[in-house]
Amino acid sequence: MTRNVLQSRVIVQKYGGSSVADPDRIRNVARRIAKKVQEGYKVVTVVSAMGKTTDNLISLAKNVSSKPDERELDMLLTTGEQVSCALVAMALKDMGINAISLNAFQVKILTTKSYNNARIMDISVRKLREYLDSYDVLVVTGFQGITEDEHLTTLGRGGSDTSAVALAAKLKCDCEIYSDVAGVYTCDPKLYPETKKLKYVTYDDMLEMAATGAKVLHSRSVEIAKKYNVRVYCGSSFSDEEGTWVVDRIPEWLEEPLVTGVSLDKNQVKVSIMNLPNDAKVVTDIFKRVAEKGINVDMISLVKNGTSTHVSFTVVPERLDKIEELLNETLSDYGAKYHFYGKFSKITVVGTGMRSHYGVASKLLEVLSEHGVEPELITTSEIKISVLVPENVAEELVKSICKAFDL
């Protein structure tokens, strides 16, 4: 007999593509969800597309069209999550669990109209409550939404994390994110096997780590978690090993570290614009046009040299076509030139402890100097320092930085 949602605790769980990559793993996920139901929870489960489905669909689209229409690409990509959603619901029903699969249209996940990179505007709590009154498990498609005029959109890479945390924010409950990684580490274990797993990490630290290359959580999901104070648990779907809680603040009994972690973001391209006029309005105009094109830029550096200004920033290679088109349109107005420099990586050292301690920048630059590396760009904030370095030395630098900061 289905329990009324008001009499049950609600929790949101999210399972990544590797967790639902084949029938055996789908059944494993179903068993984990069923266990939560048996503990007295109503479960809203968000699932990603199976394995490499999204990559395969993008490849298929590019075989059909040299430049796939963004709206049609979203229509194609949303099918991946619907497949895994339906299969997980089938596995749950075989176990006697009262479950239903639902897509973004049925749950009313309203987004902006930015195809391929939409942002969630609202989710219908009323619809969620109605379904939770009738079912113990809602298996919801991650990564997708609908516009006000009912066109399908996708939320960009890592969008299923965003879907899950947004649902938890609306339902005012905890969110559990399961993948093939057993929590949040001070560094990617594949890069530095001696890395330590964190029991707790703050929203601020996790936000910086996610935004600069850490793969456990998508940065937009952490933004939502921080805004609505959603506690997020990161664990492995393949074991019961204790994971990591992402929270507002570290428990008082636990000492706050100076450096929480080191992240590596590969595949960075440096864009340099030379000989711009010494006029703030010109730089403002360029970045306004960049924003209007929906292009994210990072590590911005501005240097004035006599009567001219030089601007540098980084972008990911996938955005080069758009940025080149924009610069060709824009720079002709100012008689400036641009150049792309490739094969860079961004290394970021993160830690809220930097707010009250000093010496992190000098130690980081000392490590780079020992390797004979001069950073191309450096950006800092209260709790992070990022350096742009040649890609061929980045992994070795990360190992040395981890050792230097005892991570």
Q: Is residue 321 part of a domain?
A: no
Q: Mean pLDDT across the chain, nearest whole number? A: 88
Going through 30-156 in order, the beta strands assigned E by DSSP cover 41-47, 99-102, 109-111, 120-123, 137-141, 144-146, 152-154
Numbers of helices and strands, H then E, in the chain:
12, 20
Binding site for ATP, by residue number, is: 14-17, 185, 215-216
Highest averaged pLDDT of the listed ranges 41-45, 196-200, 344-348, 402-406: 41-45
Binding site for substrate, by residue number, is: 54, 81
Q: Is residue 103 part of a domain?
A: yes
Contact indicator for 218, 210 with CB cutoff of 8 Å: yes
Pairing of strands 244-247, 200-202: parallel
CA distance 20 to 27: 8
Helix then strand then coil, in percent of the chain rounded to 5, is 40, 30, 30
Give the global pTM.
0.80
Burial profile 235-247: b = 16 or more Cβ within 10 angstroms, e = fewer: bbbbeeeebbbbb
Q: Is residue 394 part of a domain?
A: no
Binding site, by residue number, is: 14-17, 54, 81, 185, 215-216
Confidence of residue 286 (pLDDT cuts 50, 70, 90): confident
In this prediction, what percent of the chain has a pLDDT beyond 70? 95
Give pLDDT tens digits for 199-211: 988 898 888 887 7
Q: Is residue 329 part of a domain?
A: no
Q: At 173, which CATH number? A: 3.40.1160.10
Q: Is residue 176 part of a domain?
A: yes
Confidence of residue 1 (pLDDT cuts 50, 70, 90): very low
Q: Is residue 66 part of a domain?
A: yes
Give pLDDT tens digits for 148-160: 999 999 998 778 9
- Total domains in the fold of the chain: 1
Between 394 and 5, name the one with better pLDDT.
394
Q: Is residue 309 part of a domain?
A: no
In this structure, what token pair is assigned to residue 277?
A: 């006029």
Q: What is the pLDDT of residue 22?
A: 94
Q: Is residue 314 part of a domain?
A: no
The residue type at 123 = I
Q: Which domain holds residue 44?
A: 5-180
Confidence of residue 6 (pLDDT cuts 50, 70, 90): very low
In this structure, what token pair is assigned to residue 394?
A: 């980045």
